[in-house]
Structure 1
């Protein structure tokens, strides 16, 4: 990462601008073993919010992936104190105000390093 920052600073000091993706690619292409790709997330957020009511009151969160509460969200007011509030998939569906779609990013082809 430091090499990339150094390369960008050097590029700018030499009088070049870094304003478009191609400029960043030009800066980085000389760094050994470094490839570059451009990722653009395409998300249609639509209207409406998908939030849990009262979520600002909970300070401890868990998303278990195994056991009895796998595929649930657990929340509670204070870490280590009190009962967990369990949100099952069925409960989460009731709160949903719009469809949740997995974003499909646009990915450019990555560059090939000039030297290994």
Structure 2
């Protein structure tokens, strides 16, 4: 969660909200897409192919709608010093990184999405957890992603009220 707070500086991406949901329980469209990928790989093996390298995975899922595939090798040469843990983090499932207002610079968390009081993690707490370690922008090795042969469309659900006003604490 601390690294995500650097995304604006490193990639010009502003993370607004991060929700942790139990994986594979079909709570999101991503779970559905993940299930399709998993099924395609299992089918690929069942019809006689083997998965021995990344290219085999690419071949197994290349015909899935809206699926881009790229080989990503994380930069693991960084210092591996021990880091502390944010107390209570395993109980929190919603995270935000406000860029405006009184909570700018904090990581705000709570146990349930859109319900309950916010826990605010300050710069001082983050420094204590990270033991004042500095984080540099990762430099992973990656290949250009493939282009899907078909697009993946997801119907958007409508919601009353202004959802974006509820995201930022």
CA RMSD of aligned residues (A): 3.6
Unaligned runs of 5+ in 1: none
TM, length-normalised to structure 2 = 0.46
Higher relative contact order, structure no. (Cα contacts within 8 Å, ≥ 6 residues apart):
1
TM, length-normalised to structure 1 = 0.61
Of residues 103, 107, 127 in structure 2, which corresponds to 1:93?
127
CA-CA distance at 1:22 after TM superposition: 1.1
Number of aligned positions between the proteins: 108
The alpha-carbon distance between structure 1 residues 4 and 95, as it changes in their structure 2 partners (threshold 3 A), is: closer
CA-CA distance at 1:89 after TM superposition: 2.4
Q: Contact (CA 8 Å) 2:96, 2:109: kept in 1 or not? A: no
Query: Which consecutive aligned stretches of 4+ in structure 1 deviate over 4 angstroms post-superposition?
Result: 57-64, 84-87
Of residues 135, 138, 142 in structure 2, which corresponds to 1:103?
138
Of residues 82, 86, 91 in structure 2, which corresponds to 1:48?
82
Asked if 1:69 corresponds to 2:103, the answer is yes
Instruction: Find the residue that maps to 1:102 and give its secondary structure.
Output: coil
CA-CA distance at 1:24 after TM superposition: 0.8
Residue number in structure 2 paired with 1:19: 52
What is the alpha-carbon distance in structure 2 between the residues aligned to residue 10 and residue 94 of structure 1? 48
